[in-house]
Amino acid sequence: MQDSQPGQMGGMPTLANLTKAISLRWRILIPLMVGLALLVTVFAVALFAVERVHLEDSLEHELDLIAAYHRDSTRLRGQKLAAVAEALARDPGLRRVLAAGDRQDLLRHAEPIFKGMKQDFSITHFYFHDAARRTLLRVHNPASFGDRIDRVTARQAEASGRAAVGVELGKTGAYTLRAVVPVKEGGRLIGYVELGEEILDSLLDLSNAFKEVDGYVLLYKTYLARNDWEQFMRKLGRTPDWEHYPDMVLAAHTQPGVPKFLDALLTEWKGAIRQTGTMVESGAQTYNVASLPLQDAEGREVGRLMLLRNVTGLRTHAAMHLLWVIISTGMGGVALSVLFYYHLRRTEGKLDRAQAQIVDATEAREADQRRHIEELTGRINDLERFERLTVGRELHIQVLREENRQLRASLGADGEPASPPGASPEQTGDEGEGHGG
């Protein structure tokens, strides 16, 4: 009789076998899919970090370009002013009038020159100073004269005897690039020619030179006189608001107004906006806010140029790229999982067939073992029967021997003299028996 095997019933697959087959497949697929999901997640996070670093590097590079543009633009403008001022200092007619100290004659000679320079070179300030640095004539404002000039550029020109160039912030808030050149006659210092260009609004050209960048010029109140600054702003056609920010004033900007989020940042200004930029969310838009220091000829930081760039498009592009990579990688993972699924399915079929062959071979071997056991059992039974027969015969022989001994003993007692101990055969009369056999 064939024993029933666990997990088999009439050759049909049982729930245990089905669960085993399913678990074998999914024990491989589930870790694989989890590993792929983790790999995609790590890859997505790493790619997001790379995209963010790339965006920050791009913005930082752009800010470096803006800063370099500012430096180069200021340097070239300064060289232009110095060249024009030196040309004026070599003009014999101007030298003669300057040496004479005739203000009206000097104005008559210089006024047409100033109009041409203002139109051609954007020069906004034109001065003549005497040898003691007192203003002989402001060509751009003839009514103001006689004050002593103590600006850094004037002192530098006096000390070096050569042209001095630098940016200086006046109490009015005029951020002016100045060039001061000593004028000499016969080796004797007779005065100075000074040219200036207001570059407050030209600072905003930095932002206009770059796409989607707005600029805001802020000056520290420490270096300004409120009344003078407010008059200067009205002269430029702007509405001054001294009290709006605690430590700074808004002097120039590219847009009509300041966005609310930037206004809040500036109101709470504590130098937190880095030159490398700060990301700010405003509704559905993302902005990068950066600041560049504005310095004067003495190296003092007198204000900040705030740069605001809308980076929503860049971040959206980066997000779409990231999404595309995630979807592509996910689809690749799904395709790989399906490939592994069918490969495991074929492998399972081979394993099932091999297992069936093993089961069949095991059942055949068990049947052979059962037949062999039955044969051995029969032989053992035969041996036991033979042993019982042999034991019976041995007992029967022992009984016969005992009976024979007793018979011999009884015959000696019925007429045949028993042989005394130690008697010889001759004495007992057994000799004849020995011969007769």
CATH code of the domain covering residue 301: 3.30.450
Q: Are residues 83 and 191 in the same domain?
A: yes
Q: Are residues 320 and 217 in the same domain?
A: no
Residue 372 forms part of a structural domain: yes
Strands 125-130 and 12-13: unpaired
Q: Are residues 298 and 323 in the same domain?
A: no
Q: What are phi and psi of 199, to 5 degrees?
A: -115, 15
Q: Are residues 163 and 226 in the same domain?
A: no
Q: Are residues 289 and 373 in the same domain?
A: no
Q: Are residues 303 and 327 in the same domain?
A: no
Residue 164 forms part of a structural domain: yes
Per the structure, the count of domains in the chain is 3
Structure tokens at 152: 């850094």
Mean pLDDT lowest among 15-19, 117-121, 146-150, 409-413: 15-19
Q: Are residues 171 and 207 in the same domain?
A: no
93 vs 325: CA distance, rounded Å: 74
Query: Which of 126, 139, 197 has its CA nearest to residue 167?
Result: 197
Output the CA angle 430-435-437, nearest 5 degrees.
Answer: 90
Grade residue 22 by pLDDT with cuts at 50, 70 and 90.
Answer: low
Q: What is the pTM of this model?
A: 0.63
Residue 13 forms part of a structural domain: no
At 78-93, the pLDDT tens digits run 999 999 999 999 999 8
pLDDT exceeds cutoff 70 at 427:
no
Grade residue 277 by pLDDT with cuts at 50, 70 and 90.
Answer: low
Q: Are residues 345 and 399 in the same domain?
A: yes
Domain that holds residue 361: 315-405
Grade residue 2 by pLDDT with cuts at 50, 70 and 90.
Answer: very low
Q: Are residues 298 and 349 in the same domain?
A: no
Residue 26 forms part of a structural domain: no
Residue 6 forms part of a structural domain: no
Asked if residues 13 and 321 have their Cβ atoms less than 8 Å apart, the reply is no
pLDDT exceeds cutoff 90 at 279:
no
Grade residue 276 by pLDDT with cuts at 50, 70 and 90.
Answer: low
CATH code of the domain covering residue 150: 3.30.450.20
pLDDT at res. 332: 78
Q: Are residues 164 and 207 in the same domain?
A: no
Residue 332 forms part of a structural domain: yes
Q: Are residues 172 and 212 in the same domain?
A: no
